[in-house]
Structure 1
Amino acid sequence: MSYKTLLVHIDDSRRSDTRIALSLELAQRWDAHLIGLYVVCQDLFRPIFRQDKTLSFAQIEAQEANRREKAENAFLAAAERAGRSAEWRAPPGPALDVAMLHARHADLLVLGQQDPNDPASFVAPHFVGDLVLGAGRPALVVPYAGEVRTLGENVLLAWDGSREAARAAADALPLLQRARHVGIEIVHAHGQAQSPDAPEGIDVAAWLETHGVRAAFSTTPHHVGIGAGATLLNRASDLHADLLVTGAYGHARARERVFGGVTRTMLESMTVPVLMAH
């Protein structure tokens, strides 16, 4: 099993080059085709457009075209240096709708956590979360801070027996099969007891082994006042994991999506790349 088509989200943020470099390295692993999807904020009232209030709409459009051309040249040049098959896409239309449509024709998405200190990283409210929950494709979300030295060598798989966790585990198989170490982590709610007859994690570990993945499993108590998401991030740090795999939780309500606590924590506070699937 492998990913044959990867899609990396490209914008004008400082972290865009990191995502491109990582996606090219992943494309090399699986001899995959890489799509660079350029989608940026279209709200003229956002700070990135208000740096010079004297600019006319025509001048703003000219600046946008210049940034788009610069991003395209940088992406295609990086792909050529890496010797990878790649294509550039910068389709018109509402940012989330466009991204959702193109994401559904890829095996894996490479996205970036929004950086509160970089206005260019803002595309739309809850852009990454909405894309993860709505695209039907696994997404590798890269933190806005820190260096990604390795990815997928030491993987921590969050497991709670849910549909979302099962989906994430299955979608992560190409990465898990190449990992040096895979750990399955179960976070228990406060006061919840584990059955001594059938330890949680043993079934998913057995399933993974049928796919050539040998995994250890452990249980971490969920302490009062510390959310499950924060507990998982702490465990990832303690174990020096370079990838966390977790289900993405949420549902639609009216015209917006409501994110589960773990998913919200990951999107806001991730310290390590997270592969999420819904």
Structure 2
Amino acid sequence: MGYKTLLVHLDDSARREARLALALDLAGRFDAHLIGLYLPMPHPRTPAAGSAPALEQRREQAQAAFLDAGARASCMVEWRAPQPGDTATAVLHARHADLLVLGQRERDDLAIDLSSDFLTDLLMTAARPAIVVPHSGSFPTVAQNILISWDGGREAARAASDALPLLRRANCVSIEVVAARHGTKRMRAEEEAADAAAWLDLHDVSASFHESARDPGVRTGTALLSRASDLHADLIVAGAYAHSRIHERVLGSVTRNLLETMTVPVLMSH
């Protein structure tokens, strides 16, 4: 079991190279076909930047850089620059890939997203796991030391299952459960963590597990990032959006917290 087709989102942002480097690394590990999906921002900052010659020049530069990087990495690559370049188009292409490589939204860089909800819309509707790359930092290694966020829910189970090819190749896998300090919920969390470790063991993945007490003053996502730092994890595996979109936007969520404050790549599934 592995990933046969990967898709990386390319645009005109400064972080395009970081996403591409990570995608090429994964494609090399799994001998996978890598699709470069070029969808730049639809509304440039200045009219001159949005002229037809300027758009064509940026597209040609992005294509040349992608093909050159693929050749240097000896990877099978395919360039796509579909029209229209919107979220619906991205979803259609994403559904024909096994794993997506996307970028965290950077508020100061308008080129990184097609719309304010491009990343979350793709996570919610593509029905494919995605590795989201932070908008800052370098990641020379990824998926060697993996932390799984586990709450026993549907999304967590889906994410862990989608991450199995990476989990099997990792040097270290840890399961983290953030639960109540006492009572039946804490006991249930401990049982769920042990059950998850046993399930992974049947898939040839040896994983340790740990339970953290929920602190009312600390967001769960923040606690997970802190735990990842303590363990020197280079990838977090987490389910995406356990509740309705409206609920998430009003109350916040582990998913949104991770997407906004991530310090290492995060693999998410919905």
With normalisation by structure 2, the TM-score equals 0.93
Question: How many pairs are equivalent?
Answer: 267
1:32-91 per-position Cα deviation (integer Å, ceiling 9, x unaligned): 000000011113xxxx432xx5x3x9x612111110110000000110111111100000
Distance between the aligned counterparts of 1:90 and 1:214, measured in 2? Answer: 41
Partner of 2:135: 144
Partner of 1:40: 40
1:180-203 per-position Cα deviation (integer Å, ceiling 9, x unaligned): 110000001465542289633111
Matching residue's letter, 1:246: A
Report matched runs for 1:1-278 at 5 Å: 1-43=1-43, 48-50=44-46, 55=48, 60-189=51-180, 193-195=185-187, 199-249=191-241, 250-252=243-245, 261-278=253-270
CA contact (8 A) 2:179 2:189 kept: no
The offset of 1:29, in angstroms, is 0.4
Other structure's SS at 1:201 match: helix
The offset of 1:228, in angstroms, is 0.9
Matching residue's letter, 1:93: P
Q: 1:200 to 1:78 in 2, by over 3 A?
A: same
The offset of 1:259, in angstroms, is 8.7
What are structure 1's unaligned runs of at least 5 residues? none
- RMSD, matched Cα: 2.1
CA contact (8 A) 2:39 2:85 kept: no
What are structure 2's unaligned runs of at least 5 residues? none
* Percentage of identical aligned residues: 52
The offset of 1:117, in angstroms, is 2.6
The offset of 1:24, in angstroms, is 0.7
Distance between the aligned counterparts of 1:268 and 1:224, measured in 2? Answer: 19
Matching residue's letter, 1:8: V
Q: Which has more helix, going by share of residues?
A: 2
CA contact (8 A) 1:156 1:241 kept: yes
The offset of 1:252, in angstroms, is 4.6
Matching residue's letter, 1:234: S
Matching residue's letter, 1:229: G
1:191-228 per-position Cα deviation (integer Å, ceiling 9, x unaligned): 55422896331111111011100000000111012111
Q: 1:189 to 1:131 in 2, by over 3 A?
A: farther
Distance between the aligned counterparts of 1:258 and 1:41, measured in 2? Answer: 27
Q: 1:65 to 1:225 in 2, by over 3 A?
A: same
CA contact (8 A) 2:235 2:266 kept: yes
